[in-house]
Amino acid sequence: MRRYLTRAALVLTAASGCAAIVAAPGASAGVTGTGPIHSRADSRCLDADLGRIGRNGTRIQLWDCNGWANQAWTYDPATHTIRSLSNGRCLDADHGNLGRNGTRVQLWDCNGRANQQWVYDRRSHAIYSLANGRCLDADLKGVGSNGARVHLWDCNRWSNQKWKL
């Protein structure tokens, strides 16, 4: 619990606009599960690019939902991880790029670091990074088509930052 509160305090410092929701007790309580993660902007699924699925750095994008394993995820609020059922790797925010908008989101071997820890807020439907407080964001330039880039961006409550687990 102390570890979570320390991280929540860091998130408050890093992203004052969104962090109050991230730090709220029970923000992700009761929300667990396995299956697709849908964008509320266009109903496409969070998708691990099949062209690189076997390696670290696999691109995360939006794609028409198809029921394949590369679109199946497990969210565990106790460990704050989102794992791919296709290969067991964790959803990862590029550690070398955490300080700015557009941080790449990818699959990487799970390591327990904050850049692989996420909080789903069932009230706002946002997925927040514990590393910097930014929201999982579908790039507005690509929403509505397959291959839309998914990255981290300052929280703004727009539909491209809302997700259904």
pTM check: above 0.85:
no
Q: Total structural domains in the chain?
A: 1
Residue-range definition of the domain harbouring residue 9: 2-164
Q: Specify the DSSP class assigned to residue 100.
A: S
Question: What is the 3-state secondary structure of 8-62?
Answer: HHHHHHHCHHHHHHHHCCCCCCCCCEEECCEECCCCCEEEECHHHCCCCCEEEEE
Blockwise average pLDDT, block size 10, the chain, 165 residues:
34 36 42 86 97 93 97 96 96 94 98 97 96 97 96 97 96
* CATH code, 57: 2.80.10.50
